[in-house]
Amino acid sequence: MAVTTAPPAPPRPPALTSPGRAGLSDKAFRFLSLGCGLLVLVILGFITVAMTQKAWPAFSHDGLRFFTTSRWAPNVEVFGSLSFVYGTVVTAIVALVLAVPLSVGLALFLSDIAPRRLRRPVSSLVDLLAAVPSVVYGLWGVIVLAPWLAGVYERVSDITSPIPVLSSLFSGPSTGRGLFTAGIILALMVTPIITSITREVFDTVPVMAKEAAYALGSTRWEMIRAAVFPHSRAGMIGAVMLGVGRAMGETIAAALVIGSSPQITANLFGSGDSMAAVIANQFNEAGGLHRSALIALGVELFLLTILVNIVARVVIARGRVRA
């Protein structure tokens, strides 16, 4: 009996190019990821529109005076933001004056100077500086640092009082809370940012350039000045500007140590207020037009930091192209 069983049909290979559900899901996935990519654009647009809308009552109430005057008196509905802009800019400048040399030093140490076994601990140190939450810096600043600085400020102002310009910049007595204290805390917070970007740039300096400098008999410092700095100028400027952006937007630490008084004073040891800090300190007690004015301050801060960040990124990108 001849058994003729047909050989079992081989399993049909899955179609590779069938335009069925698989093709559809492929497209769907593509659009999904595109949608998520566009989310950044949407959020930034939303921030601008939604916040400007809520801020509009304040903008239309005060007009240009919102930007050009410095009297901030919520009880009589007068809102001028200039003193907060001043506080923001001054604390950012103090922070940079302190943080830039520190960061460039740290970056040089990590890229060119550190003995091999110190490299990892020091880079952990920088990470640690970045990991401490800003509210913890603020707590330490207001409870420990400010009272100690009050004494230091007193001594400094005694020394500088006979000197014309310095006497108005550094005059006492001070509670220890003020523009300079905020600047010190902000410096600690922007140092890791400036350090990490500067270090990245330093690491891209061609070894050939460094060796050429050494071959010409340079000392290590002369090599750094001849090979490392010229190559890294754009990147360093960009890094510093990113630091500016961060310092301007930093809220909580500044809110705790800046002293909270809306005034424009040349005295760095005196108290002031910054845009971010005043929003944090007043928003929950504010109502009506006051609240709208604080949102308007938020819009102003948003636009300022966006501007600084865009310039910084463009500078960094240009530096990269040339490098």
Partner 1 sequence: MSAMLLGRVSPVRRFRNRLAIGMVWLSVATAAVPLAFLMVYLAQKGAGIVDWNFLTDDIPISSRLPGPGMGPAVLGTLLITGMATLVSVPLGVLAAVYLNEYGGNRRLAAVLRFLSDVMAGVPSIVMGLFIYTVYVLRYGLSGFAGALALGCLMLPIVIRSAETALKLVPDELREASAALGARTSRTILTVVIPAALPGIVSGALLAVARAAGETAPLLFTIGTVNAANPSLFDGANTALSAQIFGNARQPFEAAIDRAWGAALTLILLVFVLTAVARLVTRRFTVR
Task: Count the neighbouring beta carbons within 10 Å of the beta carbon of residue 125.
Answer: 15
Residue number, 168 or 318, with CB nearest to partner 1: 318
Stretch near partner 1 under the rule CB under 8 A, chosen from 4-12, 97-105, 157-165, 228-236: 97-105
Q: Is there binding between residue 295 and partner 1 (CB under 8 A)?
A: yes
Q: How far is the CB of 295 from partner 1 (least distance, A)?
A: 6
Q: Is there binding between residue 287 and partner 1 (CB under 8 A)?
A: no
Enumerate residues 52-91 that contact partner 1 by CB under 8 A. Answer: 53-54
Token reading at 276: 């971010």
Considering only 59, 66, 84, 137, the residue that binds partner 1 (CB under 8 A) is 137
135: Cβ contacts below 8 Å, ≥ 6 apart: 252, 253, 256
Q: Is there binding between residue 166 and partner 1 (CB under 8 A)?
A: no
Considering only 106, 234, 258, 268, the residue that binds partner 1 (CB under 8 A) is 106
Residue number, 122 or 237, with CB nearest to partner 1: 122
Task: Count the neighbouring beta carbons within 10 Å of the beta carbon of residue 148.
Answer: 10
Q: Is there binding between residue 38 and partner 1 (CB under 8 A)?
A: yes
CA distances from 68 to 19, 81, 92, 173, 278 (A): 63, 7, 20, 30, 17
148 phi and psi, to 5 degrees?
A: -70, -40
Enumerate residues 186-215 that contact partner 1 by CB under 8 A. Answer: 188, 191
Among 190, 207, 230, smallest CA distance to 312 is for 190
Residue number, 118 or 163, with CB nearest to partner 1: 118
Token reading at 224: 């750094």
Q: How far is the CB of 166 from partner 1 (least distance, A)?
A: 22
